[in-house]
Amino acid sequence: MNFPQSPLTRFITDNEHSWQLEQYTAHGGYAGFKKAIDMSSDELLDMLKKSNLRGRGGAGFPTGLKWSFVPRGEGAPAEKYLIVNADEMEPGAFKDRWLLEQTPHQIIEGLLIGGLTLGATQGYIFLRGDYYLAEQRLKSALDECREHHLLGKGILGKNFQFDIHIHSSAGRYICGEETALINAMEGKRANPRSKPPFPQVAGLWGKPTVVNNVETFCNLPHIIHFGCDWFKSLGKGQDAGTKIFGVSGRVNKPGLWELPMGTSIREIIEQHAGGMCEGYRLKGLLPGGGSTDFLLEEHLDAKMDYDEIGKLGSRMGTGTLIILDDRYCPVSMVLNLVRFFAQESCGWCTPCRDGLPWAVALLEKIETGSGELADLDQLEALCQFAGPGNTFCALAPGAVEPLQSALKYFRKDFESHIHQQCCPYHLTEVSHKGGSIAQSLAEVKR
């Protein structure tokens, strides 16, 4: 058997029809499902546990363990649901869009295997509303599957039925929290639910429900087809498999790459993203999207896996790096992120509803030159106020991660804004363009 090193992207070719069923099956698509349909649910769940697959949506929770909480066997509810979280509202994240547009059948195959594993008959793809091409291709792929008896009743001539529906999201970041997503699907306001009960026991319409990220489901066909040992061998560290890593910012080749789990930050930036653009230096980076803590140049040799990045005080999150260069203002960058999170708050709890707008107001003061040193102490206190354990869900703790780490690593930049009563990076940018300091100050005052 030919064991692939890049399983998630092996279906993406130069053929413009590579996303369609004929090309997908020509490259080995649905082989994992055809193997899984002759296995028991216990065997499938056991493989998922042994594979050490961790959720690729950001939290990194072991997928097999999560799925094991779903009631199965005699006495279990007859109705169960699988949901693919394809909303992808995390700032700086764009990996799932690539998979949705280029390999829709891979997601469908993952859902089918999930249905066999948990005894579910219905799957949903909770899709970001402005992913128009992804929705078009998913609908076409679902039609192909129904035409070829890969969905519906008696799939592949077996006693197995499963169908998949697309739920086009209105687009809210809070729907990254699985119970808020479930509420949105039920036509309710997207607020998180109290837990317990957890969705695996009582989720969509009160039935056992599993919610996982696009990339997580895409791994299932390959684990079943090629085996757990192969999957674990792909990683360079403790975490198994590959990961879709991405880089955005002032690098020469921003984009996405499928690489082994445990690939170093340095390799991702310098080798795959082509290094920093000429005239720019790396000042810091967010390793896993907009809701993670900054890391610095001294952390470049760290491995991109969940535990290693956690030891550095950040999170791997989505694995999509956002680069901060030496000519961009960290205060402005953090303000932009916190403003987004404040807008996306569901308003359910005080630290998020009131704390994040307060942080925006303080950051705006500092960025526009009217800040005081006491504002920095207030921002630090707010990071504690909105931190883990003080909120209903993880939105506010994630929102303050870039802020708290910016205060730690770039405090001099915040203080320079206050002492100079303007953004020093604005002065530097004008200087690069040939303007004078006097012109710049006049522009700030206007």
Assigned domain for 441 exists: no
Whether 247 and 229 share a structural domain: no
Whether 358 and 320 share a structural domain: no
Whether 298 and 376 share a structural domain: no
pLDDT at 317: 93
Tell me: the pLDDT tens digits for 104-162? 999 999 999 999 999 999 999 999 999 999 999 999 999 999 999 999 999 999 999 99
Tell me: the pLDDT tens digits for 344-383? 999 999 999 999 999 999 999 999 999 999 999 999 999 9
CATH number at 377 reads 1.20.1440.230
Q: Structure tokens of 311?
A: 């030891």
pLDDT at 443: 47
Closest by CA to 281, choosing from 264, 271, 269, is 269
- For residues 98 and 56, the answer to whether their CB atoms sit within 8 Å is no
Give me the percent of the chain exceeding a pLDDT of 70: 96
Whether 93 and 197 share a structural domain: yes
pLDDT interval class at 246 (50, 70, 90): very high
pLDDT at 73: 81
pLDDT at 444 over 80: no
Whether 12 and 113 share a structural domain: yes
Could you say which of 293, 325, 357 is where a domain stops? 325
Could you say which of 274, 309, 325 is where a domain stops? 325
Whether 146 and 279 share a structural domain: no
pLDDT at 431 over 80: no
Tell me: the pLDDT tens digits for 207-220? 999 999 999 999 99
Whether 274 and 350 share a structural domain: no
pLDDT at 446 over 50: no
pLDDT at 440 over 50: no
Could you tell me the pTM of the whole model? 0.92
Could you say which of 325, 355, 371 is where a domain stops? 325
CATH number at 79 reads 3.40.50.11540
Beta sheet of 242-248, edge-to-edge order: 255-260, 242-248, 320-325, 282-286
pLDDT at 429: 56
Tell me: the pLDDT tens digits for 283-333? 999 999 999 999 999 999 999 999 999 999 999 999 999 999 999 999 999
pLDDT at 59 over 70: yes
Closest by CA to 394, choosing from 443, 348, 354, is 348
pLDDT interval class at 237 (50, 70, 90): confident
pLDDT at 58: 81
Whether 137 and 227 share a structural domain: yes
Whether 46 and 185 share a structural domain: yes
pLDDT at 1 over 90: no
On average, the pLDDT of the chain sits at 93
Whether 221 and 257 share a structural domain: no
In this prediction, residues 79-103 reach a mean pLDDT of: 95
Closest by CA to 290, choosing from 441, 386, 400, 180, is 400
What is the separation of C-alpha 215 from the centre of its chain, rounded to a whole number of angstroms?
A: 9
Tell me: the pLDDT tens digits for 87-98? 999 999 999 999
In this prediction, residues 32-61 reach a mean pLDDT of: 94
Assigned domain for 437 exists: no
Tell me: the pLDDT tens digits for 164-197? 999 998 878 999 999 999 999 999 999 999 999 9
Phi and psi based region of residue 45 (left: phi greater than 0; alpha: psi -120 to 50; beta: remaining): alpha
pLDDT at 428: 62
Whether 226 and 269 share a structural domain: no
Alpha-carbon distance of 380 to 359, in angstroms, equals: 10
**Which residues constitute the domain of residue 342?**
330-432
CA distance between the termini of the chain: 68
Whether 101 and 152 share a structural domain: yes
Assigned domain for 278 exists: yes
